[in-house]
Amino acid sequence: MKKTGLISPGSDGLLGAEDLGKTVALLRAGEPVALPSETVYGLAANALEPEACAKIFSAKDRPFYDPLICHLPSPDFLGEFAFSCPLAERLAQAFWPGPLTMVLPKRAMIPDLVTAGLPDVALRCSAHPVFQQVVSACGFPLAAPSANRFGRVSPTAASHVLAELNGRIALVVDGGACGYGLESTIVRVAGEHLEVLRPGPILVEELEKYAPVLQPEDLRSAPGNLPSHYAPATPLSILEKDAGPAFAAKREEGKRLGLLAWEGKSEGRWEKIEKLSETLDLREAGHRFYSALRELDAAGLDAICAEALPETGLGATIMQRLRKAAHHG
Ligand code: AMP
Ligand code: MG
């Protein structure tokens, strides 16, 4: 068991020289380090070193069939690690650095372990100043999936990373709460059109300005797209409008229930309520979503009920996460 260190940026929002040196030295030595990003915390390792990436899989208990997203220091590196195309270049110019991941044919230096043996690689460029600082200093791309154990709630604060991976990794860099709080949008760039593999903070409406967007109903073929994901240990169900009697029955059995609230209108004797946004702001709801889920999960409840959000804009992204978090089995 490793002792997990914790370091923080200074008042300028960047790591000091000594802490940056320590972080980069660990990554150069093939040790994974948890880093803040604008989406969720990532567990980063040298994307060009299979042994370093293997440590990501073991720290997360992640199966090898689930490929890793690689983070570049700047959009300029796109063509170095993937076979790019004019559409990918336009998207990189429009959305990078930012929460858009592009899937493109990989170049040979990307190890098969990173792509789960697939011919494509998923690339992104983070807008978080600390992530940028570290990946730029490293001189190699960083493979960085979310810094949680496989299938569990994604971490949006350093304390969440410690709750998931304490003793399993050498270092967590604490960059505060993640801005978006939701994982990146993933698109496959296929010739002149785009295919959304995972909804995220960059909305389909924004992507459609650049190319026709396919949103396959059935994403079972997308790697790592499992029915259950982002799940708390406490059973979670989404409150349907006609679910009243079922939950009343649960209350009669003396169950301790928590509510993940949107409008907060669901009747019930809730032991604990976490409201996503007092002002019904979807961006705030995304920012708070995983930490609210984590708070409820830590409250010793028998079950968590979640109110459905409107499926427009970011609401659709949050509902996609919620459905997977509620899927059992
Ligand atoms: P995360 O664990 O949030 O970093 O997300 C990783 C996800 O990105 C995987 O579960 C896949 O769904 C997707 N992904 C990564 N690499 C690829 C790839 N080469 N092709 C398609 N999807 C990918
Ligand atoms: Mg993840």
Q: Is 223 in the pocket of ligand 1 (CB under 6 A)?
A: yes
Whether residue 130 is contained in a domain is answered as yes
Question: pLDDT at residue 251 above 90?
Answer: no
196 lines ligand 1 (CB under 6 A): no
- The C-alpha angle with vertex 103 and arms to 98 and 107, in degrees rounded to 5, equals 110
Specify the higher pLDDT residue, 246 or 279.
Answer: 279
- Number of domains composing the chain: 2
Pairwise CA distance, residues 11 & 144, whole Å:
25
**Residue 258: closest CA among 290, 293, 227:** 293
291 pLDDT above the threshold of 80: yes
Question: Rounded CA gap, 110 and 94, in Å?
Answer: 25
> Are 208 and 243 in the same domain?
no
- Is the same domain home to 198 and 285? no
Same domain as 176, residue 127: yes
Name the pTM for this structure. Answer: 0.95
Query: Does residue 49 share a domain with residue 11?
Result: yes
C-alpha 203/C-alpha 143 separation (Å) is: 24
Q: Best mutation site among 41, 66, 126 for ligand 1, i.e. most ligand atoms within 8 A of its Cβ?
A: 66
Rounded to 5 degrees, what are φ and ψ at 143? -75, 130
Same structural domain, 160 and 294 = no
Q: Is the CB of 39 under 6 A from ligand 1?
A: no
pLDDT tens digit sequence for 55-106: 999 999 999 999 999 999 999 999 999 999 999 999 999 999 999 999 999 9
CATH of the domain at 312: 3.40.50.11030
142-195 pLDDT tens trace: 999 999 999 999 999 999 999 999 999 999 999 999 999 999 999 999 989 999
**Rounded-to-integer distance, Cα 143 and Cα 274, Å:** 33
Per the structure, the complete domain to which residue 252 belongs is given by 236-326
What Å distances lie between residue 199 and 169, 210, 276, CA to CA?
A: 29, 17, 19
160 and 281 belong to one structural domain: no
**CATH code at position 91:** 3.90.870.10
81 and 121 fall within a common domain = yes
> Would strands 142-143 and 69-71 be described as parallel, antiparallel, or unpaired?
antiparallel
